């Protein structure tokens, strides 16, 4: 069992900044998703009613009056939700939980993998937890963090629930 301590005021502000960045990513993706959904709903209707008679258009699978169109739209919406989770690495609710609990953990482990995402605005560190043989992903949300290599022993101070890194040092 790992012990957790209280965050400092500076670490609290760093976590609030991570929440703002995450919220911005979520908003951007939702706007793109809504635009794609409108496009997926409107373009088939325009095509059907432009190039066929109204009777043929109403009987088409892509007609708004057909049940299969709504099944397709629901599937499209579900796919957008899963894409939102995958693309933006949504940690919004866990970061909010961290801001309420104000608990941080500290761990000293070697790095298993390092990668940058979101146009080099975030660096992710994969580590193997000691004594459990489970891997965990920790998130540095303040840009690309260079100078760390796989196998480097690091000490990570992180927010308890979201695993957003508050401080990282080489050992």
pLDDT in tens, 50-61: 877 877 777 776
With a pLDDT cut of 90, the percent of the chain lying above it is 0
Task: State if pTM tops 0.85.
Answer: no
Q: What is the mean pLDDT of the chain?
A: 80
pLDDT of residue 1: 41
Torsion of CA 107, 112, 117, 119, to 10 degrees: 100
Could you tell me the end-to-end alpha-carbon distance of the chain, in angstroms, rounded to an integer? 23
pLDDT of residue 90: 59
User: How far apart (Å, rounded) are the C-alpha atoms in residues 124 and 113?
Assistant: 8
> How many other CB atoms are found less than 10 A from the CB of residue 11?
19
Residues of each domain in the chain carrying CATH 2.40.50: 103-170
Question: Could you say which architecture CATH assigns to the domain 103-170?
Answer: Beta Barrel (2.40)
Lowest mean pLDDT among 10-14, 74-78, 89-93, 109-113: 89-93
């Amino acid at each position: 069992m790992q012990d957790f301590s209280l965050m400092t005021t500076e670490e609290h502000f760093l976590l609030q900044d991570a929440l703002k960045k995450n919220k911005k990513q979520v908003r951007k993706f939702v706007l793109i998703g809504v635009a794609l959904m409108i496009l997926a709903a409107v373009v088939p209707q325009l095509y059907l009613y432009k190039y066929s008679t109204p009777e043929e258009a109403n009987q088409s699978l892509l007609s708004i009056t057909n049940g299969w169109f709504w099944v397709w739209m629901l599937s499209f919406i579900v796919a957008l939700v899963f894409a939102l989770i995958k693309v933006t690495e949504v940690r919004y609710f866990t970061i909010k939980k961290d801001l309420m609990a104000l608990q941080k953990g500290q761990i000293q482990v070697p790095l298993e993998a390092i990668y940058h995402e979101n146009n080099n605005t975030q660096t992710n560190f994969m580590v193997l937890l000691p004594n459990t043989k489970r891997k965990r992903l920790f998130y540095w949300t303040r840009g690309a963090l260079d100078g760390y290599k796989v196998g480097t022993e690091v000490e990570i101070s992180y927010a308890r629930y979201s695993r957003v890194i508050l401080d990282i040092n080489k050992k």
